[in-house]
Structure 1
Amino acid sequence: MSDLADFTRLAVTLEPWRHQIVFVGGWAYRLYRYEPRAYTPEYEAVFTQDADVAYKEREALEGNLKEALIGAGFEEKLNGDFKPPAARYTLGDEANGFYAEFLTPLSGSGKKRNKQTGEFEEDATVVNGGVIAQKLRYLEVLLHAPWVVNIPAAESGINEEVAGLRIPNPVSFIIQKLLIRDRRAADKRPQDVLYIHDAIELFGASIDELAPIWKDLEATLTGKQRRLVSDGVAELFSEVNDTLREAAIIPSDRQPDPEDMLKLCQFGFGKIFDMKS
């Protein structure tokens, strides 16, 4: 992978905080291939240049991550009107380079009172450990029972193993995408459907091990959230639809059939949710 060395630099820089952080988003999907239970596909993972780094709500990150990142060659780029503004930590050219963003769960109303003006404003960002993190709904799902993977020395880009990288278990990965589907831009939904399909395919041989994970995760969800999950499955995976068709044309090195994608996802959900045929 052409940018694996950049991700490795990020992972090495954040080594002191690995026990607190979870790599989520597209990089979790790519790192699944280093999980022993995953099968090795012939196709490449979908490219992503951003690394999302998540941590639990209100968990203190000791030390100064921002100083560590700057010392490793990252630059903080601020944007937006939030207080504090949203931030990216970039390597190389801002438009084309690798970058990291920090995320933490959003709970409550999503509003906070400005201590100076007394008015309510968006509760969208927070400073922790020197870095600015975005607050997102349903992110706590990705932090439930994370798995741990290692990047082997031969692939890390630094000739050393990068160990102890925490990523969401595949059930959490799938469920969070179902929960956020209505919050995602329309052009992002096909990619999420492809991620769901590929996650089920990667762990197809051990799919029976995922049902207990769902039982544990389900117990942490509200009734509304459980309905959102079931509604998401019905909306996206009841029949071949435009979203599935668009998902099928995303990869450049394979041509999955939408009907086959649908059947695999329905099979996977039946196993994960322990549905009896």
Structure 2
Amino acid sequence: MNDLEAFAKLAIALQPWRHQIVFAGGWAYRLYRQHPLAIIPPYDALYTRDADVALGDKDTFEGNIKEALAKAGFHEQLESEFRPPVSKYTLGTEEQGFYAEFLTTLRGSGVKRSGEPDATTKLAGVTAQKLRYMDLLLIEPWQISLASDDKSIEPLDGLQIPNPVAFIAQKLLIHENRKKEKRPQDVLYIYDTLELFGARVEVLTTTWKKVIVPLYPEREVAKVIDARRQVFSKVTDTLREAARIPSDRTLEPDDMLGLCSELLDEIFE
């Protein structure tokens, strides 16, 4: 099973909640190419075998997502000591197979009254991991349609992904607390997303000023701007590692820094 077929199975299983869920992470990065504003580059998007699904922590969900996934062939794997435990929903039995994880927003201190980490919650039957700034990804998501050259896969309409400004801003906000090995990939995601939509930077700027800033706390907006200055202030080891990730193109850290600095300054001015 190829990854597009696996993702299609996930999207079809989640169809009853399509208006409430947002596909984030690596699949958002890949699905941006399906948006009509994207300028498709001559290189491939990075491969990812996991799909992050963002859920609103204050939403009411009808039905049971876990049951829908089980009917589609997904198996729940419990992977932590948290209560409820962090879960992956895997398709197939291959170690390197496809899997989905559900994420929602962490609010407050991150610690329950009992002293336990406030790390997970149950939403619509699935275990969602709580992470900072996930609510940002739910602000005015974009919708795309996904078609495949494989005629056995029906076109999927109305798939929600974060608007790219929210996607970039959230990556900037979590950068400092990300595992060191994850940071270069996040930087490459930002760079590639800016390449996709850089020709329409005015759309991104308007999204920031007119959509996100009025809806997001002023303190968090200031953190985004501060994080942008820290992450792209100079060529760093993280940026150098990001440039080495793709195998189908040659990237120069100085060029990456130049493009990101120029466009992010314009977007977040």
Same topology, TM > 0.5: yes
My pick for the range that moved more, 35-44 or 235-244, is 235-244
Question: 2:8 touches 2:153 (CA, 8 Å); kept in 1?
Answer: no
Q: 1:222 to 1:72 in 2, by over 3 A?
A: same
- Aligned pair partner of 2:122 in 117, 127, 134: 127
My pick for the range that moved more, 224-233 or 70-79, is 224-233
Match runs of 1:30-179 below 5 Å: 30-93=30-93, 95-113=95-113, 119-154=114-149, 158-179=152-173
- Aligned pair partner of 1:181 in 160, 175, 179: 175
- Aligned pair partner of 2:194 in 197, 200, 213: 200
Match runs of 1:251-270 below 5 Å: 251-270=246-265
DSSP 3-state at the match of 1:253: coil
How big is each residue's C-alpha offset from its partner over 1:82-107, in whole Å with a ceiling of 9 and x where there is no partner?
11111000012353110000111111
Q: Distance in 1 between matches of 2:63 and 2:74?
A: 17
Q: Distance in 2 between matches of 1:20 and 1:222?
A: 22
Q: Distance in 1 between matches of 2:263 and 2:202?
A: 9
Runs of 5+ in structure 2 lacking a partner? none
Q: Distance in 1 between matches of 2:192 and 2:152?
A: 28
Q: Distance in 2 between matches of 1:231 and 1:7?
A: 35
2:199 aligned with 1:209 = no
Q: CA RMSD in A?
A: 1.5
Question: 1:148 touches 1:166 (CA, 8 Å); kept in 2?
Answer: yes
Question: 2:61 touches 2:124 (CA, 8 Å); kept in 1?
Answer: yes
DSSP 3-state at the match of 1:211: helix
Q: Distance in 2 between matches of 1:130 and 1:240?
A: 44
Identity %: 54
DSSP 3-state at the match of 1:96: coil
Q: Distance in 1 between matches of 2:8 and 2:79?
A: 26
Q: Distance in 1 between matches of 2:217 and 2:148?
A: 42
- Aligned pair partner of 2:213 in 199, 211, 218: 218
Amino acid at match of 1:130: G
Question: 1:154 touches 1:160 (CA, 8 Å); kept in 2?
Answer: no
Q: Distance in 2 between matches of 1:97 and 1:23?
A: 18
Which residue of the partner structure matches residue 116 of structure 1?
A: none
Which residue of the partner structure matches residue 10 of structure 2?
A: 10
Question: 1:62 touches 1:129 (CA, 8 Å); kept in 2?
Answer: yes
Question: 2:54 touches 2:104 (CA, 8 Å); kept in 1?
Answer: yes
Amino acid at match of 2:33: R
Aligned pairs, how many?
Answer: 268
How big is each residue's C-alpha offset from its partner over 1:204-231, in whole Å with a ceiling of 9 and x where there is no partner?
1111111121113123333442332222
Question: 1:38 touches 1:202 (CA, 8 Å); kept in 2?
Answer: yes
Q: Distance in 2 between matches of 1:130 and 1:94?
A: 24
The Cα shift of 1:153 comes to 4.3
The Cα shift of 1:233 comes to 1.5
DSSP 3-state at the match of 2:42: coil
Match runs of 1:240-259 below 5 Å: 240-259=235-254
The Cα shift of 1:166 comes to 0.1
My pick for the range that moved more, 65-74 or 216-225, is 216-225
Amino acid at match of 2:3: D
TM-score (norm 1): 0.93
DSSP 3-state at the match of 2:171: helix
My pick for the range that moved more, 212-221 or 259-268, is 212-221
Amino acid at match of 1:256: L
The Cα shift of 1:256 comes to 1.0
How big is each residue's C-alpha offset from its partner over 1:141-168, in whole Å with a ceiling of 9 and x where there is no partner?
111110000012435x634211110000
Question: 2:5 touches 2:153 (CA, 8 Å); kept in 1?
Answer: no
Question: 1:142 touches 1:172 (CA, 8 Å); kept in 2?
Answer: yes
Amino acid at match of 2:261: Q
Q: Distance in 2 between matches of 1:128 and 1:241?
A: 39
